[in-house]
Every structure is written in structure tokens, then in C-alpha cells.
């Protein structure tokens, strides 16, 4: 099982690589409570076919990566923070971005094109801000800046963020399907396929506490808007105009903040990545990748794929 050595925070990350090792490096960062396998194999293959060396990984507290030892009442902490109170949390999005940077170190990659979905978009933004030399381009999908006046969930789906999660396999799978239906693109929800994916995630690694800890990291992290104004790499923002979990205003604010960012507002798309929209999204991602690669080559004609010797 490919795991990184413990990083400065003691976190070991499970990761997978797909495609030619000499290809253009893309780092895929997944969202709240979602494992690396939430990046569909077929979607990964489309990026590989374009020439990508695609890396997907489990964030801390999900999947096969390190689980945080923290005695926190997530619901109480969450409600306190929403009420404006200060709460000490185990980690922030910046710490998760540092995890991603440590993965690049382990892989011997000086830099990569970073693609993040939902919370993964927030982590990708934080990585670009905190480690600007490590990011060739930024793609932020169905995400937001951390400003409280944008990107908020609709009232009918907000409760799913702090709902109790059953331990029983069948009950947990059923809850996952119901939740997915609430936030998915209405015209593209596939219940049998969703049930299969939720079951695969449960069987691979079930750790409901991790969802709550990641949620606290989101809520406790400050706005990134002003820092995003200093981003100088090519950027793409993708958002569905029917997203009930992260309101499209979050994507709009992100695109407004990043100089020169391209905005792809996808009609009818909810908080998911339905196969029907893959061609448009992959085309947009690769356009940004090629633009960044062109600018990088122009600035340094000797630039190669960007690999560095793996650290000892």
C-alpha cells in the first residue's frame, strides 16, 4: 500500500499514481469526507489520456491515510463557531495543504497542476497561497473562498453537514445515497451507481469522525479572498449553477478574487461531477494546464516535466 512517510505533522498519506511517470503532473484533491476513489477511475483516465501523470490521495482523516487522535465534540464545536465563538480545532485547511505539499516532496515533484473539488478546492487554494512555487495551475471546483457571505449551503441541505452517521453498514450506505441525492445534479443522479460507490467507500475505510474534524477545519479557517488576489498562476473555477451545498456565489467570488481566472459555470450541475459534464470539465482543465505549461516554458525554456530527485 503506497503511503508517504510521516510528515512534519505525523501524517501518512495514502496515494496512487496514474499515467506515464514523465507526464504532466496533476494532483487531485478531494472534498469533505470523500476518499481518493471519489475521483472516478474513468475521469482519471481521461486526464491520463491527455498526457497527465495523475496523483490522487486520501486527505488526513479519511480513507487509508492517518486518522487524527482528537477528543472533540464536533457538533458542539461547530455550533459554537457558527455562533461566532472561538474554538480550538485539531487542524486547519492550511495544515491539509501542508500535507499535500509533503506528498509532492515524497514524489519528487517540484510542482504540479492542482485540481481540488469542494473542500479539496479550498485545500488547493490554500496550497497555491502558501506554496506558490509548488503550483503550476489551480483548478477550484464547486468550492469557495471561506467568506461567510458566499458559498453557503441552502437551508434544506445544511443539516446534512452535522447529521449523526450510523455505524451499521446498510444504514450508513442508505444515508449516503439519500445525502448524495439531495446535493446531486437533478438530471444525472444515478441511484444504483451511487449506491455502489457509497458501499465501496464504506468497505474501504469507514471513519465518520473524520468528516466532522474536516468540517471543523473548514469552518475555523479564515477567508482566503485577499490572499487569492495575489495568485499569479493560471486558474480555473468550475461550479454548477444548481449547487445546493456550496452556493454558486462561492465560485463567483473565487473567480473574481484570482486575477485572470477563467470561470466555467455549468448549467444544471449540482454538488457532484456527473459523467455528462466530464468532457466540458476535462477540456477546461486541460486548457488551463496547457496555458500554464506554455507560460512556464516561455519563462524557462529548459523546464522539463518538473520532477526533482525524490528525497532520501
Residue 217 within any structural domain of the chain: yes
Distance CA 7, CA 105 (A): 10
What percent of the chain stands above pLDDT 90?
Answer: 86
Is 4 a member of any domain? no
User: Is 142 among the domain residues?
Assistant: yes
Complete DSSP assignment for the chain: --BPPP-TTS---BEEEES-TTSEEEEEE--TT--GGGS-HHHHHHHHHTTEEEEEEPPTTSTTSPPP-----HHHHHHHHHTT-----S--HHHHHHHHHHHHHHHTBS-EEEEEETHHHHHHHHHHHH-GGGEEEEEEES---S-TTSSPPPTTTGGGGS-----SHHHHHHHHHHHHHHHS-GGG--HHHHHHHHHHHHHH---HHHHHHHHHHHHHSPP-HHHHTT--S-EEEEEETT-SSS-HHHHHHHHHHSTT-EEEEETT--SS--GGGHHHHHHHHHHHHHHHHHHHHHH-TT--S-B-PPP-
In a domain, 312, yes or no: no
Mean pLDDT of the chain: 94
- At a CB cut-off of 8 Å and minimum separation 6, what does 268 contact? 185, 186, 187, 188, 240, 241, 242
Asked, for residue 92, whether it belongs to a domain, the answer is yes
Q: Quick one: cell of 20?
A: 506515464
pTM for the predicted model, two decimal places: 0.95
Asked if residue 205 is part of any domain, the answer here is yes
User: Of 15-24, 62-71, 243-252, 294-303, which range is least confident?
Assistant: 294-303
User: Looking at the predicted structure, is the pLDDT value of residue 302 above 80?
Assistant: no
The domain total for the chain is: 1
- Give the model's confidence band at 134: pLDDT under 50 very low, under 70 low, under 90 confident, else very high: very high
Q: Is the pLDDT of residue 305 over 80?
A: no
Alpha carbons within 13 A on the beta-carbon side of 82:
12
- Domain extent at residue 78: 15-299
Q: What is the pLDDT of residue 11?
A: 98
**Does residue 181 sit within a domain?**
yes
In this predicted structure, what is the pLDDT of residue 304? Answer: 57
pLDDT digits (tens, 9 = 90+) for 149-184: 999 999 999 999 888 889 999 999 999 999 999 999
pLDDT in tens, 65-79: 999 988 888 889 988
CATH number, domain containing residue 202: 3.40.50.1820
- Residues 258-267, mean pLDDT to the nearest whole number: 98
- Residue 8 located in a structural domain: no
Amino acid at each position: 500500500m503506497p503511503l508517504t512517510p510521516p510528515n512534519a505533522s505525523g501524517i501518512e498519506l495514502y496515494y496512487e499514481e496514474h499515467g506515464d511517470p514523465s507526464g504532466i503532473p496533476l494532483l487531485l484533491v478531494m472534498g469533505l469526507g470523500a476518499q481518493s476513489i471519489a475521483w472516478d477511475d474513468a475521469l482519471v483516465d481521461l486526464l491520463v489520456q491527455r498526457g497527465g501523470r495523475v496523483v490522487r490521495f486520501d486527505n488526513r482523516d479519511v480513507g487509508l491515510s492517518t486518522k487524527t487522535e482528537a477528543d472533540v465534540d464536533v457538533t458542539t464545536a461547530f455550533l459554537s463557531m457558527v455562533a461566532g465563538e472561538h474554538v480550538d480545532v485539531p487542524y486547519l485547511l492550511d495544515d491539509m495543504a501542508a500535507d499535500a505539499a509533503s506528498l509532492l516532496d515524497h514524489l519528487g515533484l517540484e510542482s504540479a497542476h492542482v485540481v481540488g473539488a469542494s473542500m479539496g478546492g479550498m485545500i488547493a487554494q490554500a496550497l497555491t497561497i502558501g506554496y506558490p512555487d509548488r503550483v503550476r495551475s489551480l483548478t477550484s471546483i464547486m468550492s469557495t473562498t471561506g467568506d461567510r457571505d458566499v458559498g453557503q449551503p441552502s437551508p434544506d441541505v445544511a443539516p446534512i453537514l452535522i447529521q449523526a452517521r450510523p455505524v451499521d453498514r446498510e444504514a450508513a450506505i442508505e444515508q449516503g445515497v439519500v445525502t448524495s441525492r439531495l446535493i446531486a445534479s437533478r438530471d444525472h443522479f444515478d441511484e444504483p451507481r451511487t449506491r455502489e460507490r457509497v458501499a465501496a467507500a464504506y468497505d474501504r475505510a469507514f471513519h465518520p469522525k473524520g468528516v466532522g474534524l474536516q468540517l471543523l477545519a473548514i469552518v475555523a479557517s479564515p477567508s482566503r479572498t485577499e490572499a487569492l488576489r495575489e495568485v499569479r498562476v493560471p486558474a480555473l473555477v468550475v461550479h454548477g449553477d444548481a449547487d445546493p451545498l456550496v452556493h454558486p456565489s462561492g465560485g463567483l467570488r473565487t473567480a473574481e478574487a484570482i486575477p485572470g481566472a477563467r470561470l466555467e459555470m455549468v448549467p444544471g450541475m449540482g454538488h457532484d461531477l456527473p459523467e455528462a459534464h466530464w468532457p466540458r470539465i476535462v477540456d477546461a482543465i486541460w486548457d488551463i494546464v496547457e496555458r500554464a505549461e506554455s507560460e512556464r516554458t516561455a519563462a524557462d525554456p529548459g523546464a522539463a516535466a518538473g520532477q526533482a530527485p525524490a528525497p532520501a
